[in-house]
Amino acid sequence: MNKSAKDIASVTNRTHEACIRIIDKQFKPMTNFADRDHCVQYMVAVMFVFDRLEATDYVDGSEAAQSPLVEELRQKIKCVEDEAFTKDYHDPEKRSISNALTVTLKDGTVLDEVVVENPLGHRTRREEAKPEILKKYIGHITPHFDQARVKELVELGQDAERLYAYDIDKYVDLYAKDKIL
Mind listing the pLDDT tens digit for each residue in 11-70?
A: 999 999 999 999 999 999 999 999 999 999 999 999 999 999 999 999 999 999 999 999
d(CA 28, CA 23): 10
What is 5-119's CATH superfamily? 2-methylcitrate dehydratase PrpD (3.30.1330.120)
Provide the mean pLDDT of the chain: 94
Is the pTM value of this prediction over 0.95?
no
For residue 105, the SS3 value is strand
**What letter represents residue 31's amino acid?**
T
- Of the chain, the percentage scoring pLDDT greater than 90 comes to 93
Write down the pLDDT at residue 116.
95
Crossing angle for the helix pair 126-141 and 147-157, nearest 10 degrees? 150
Write down the pLDDT at residue 179.
58
Q: Where in the chain is the domain with CATH 3.30.1330.120?
A: 5-119
Write down the pLDDT at residue 120.
87
Cβ contact 136:34 at 8 Å: no
Residue 177 pLDDT level (bands cut at 50, 70, 90): confident
Write down the pLDDT at residue 181.
47
**What letter represents residue 132's amino acid?**
E
pLDDT over threshold 90, residue 180? no
d(CA 77, CA 100): 12
Write down the pLDDT at residue 108.
97
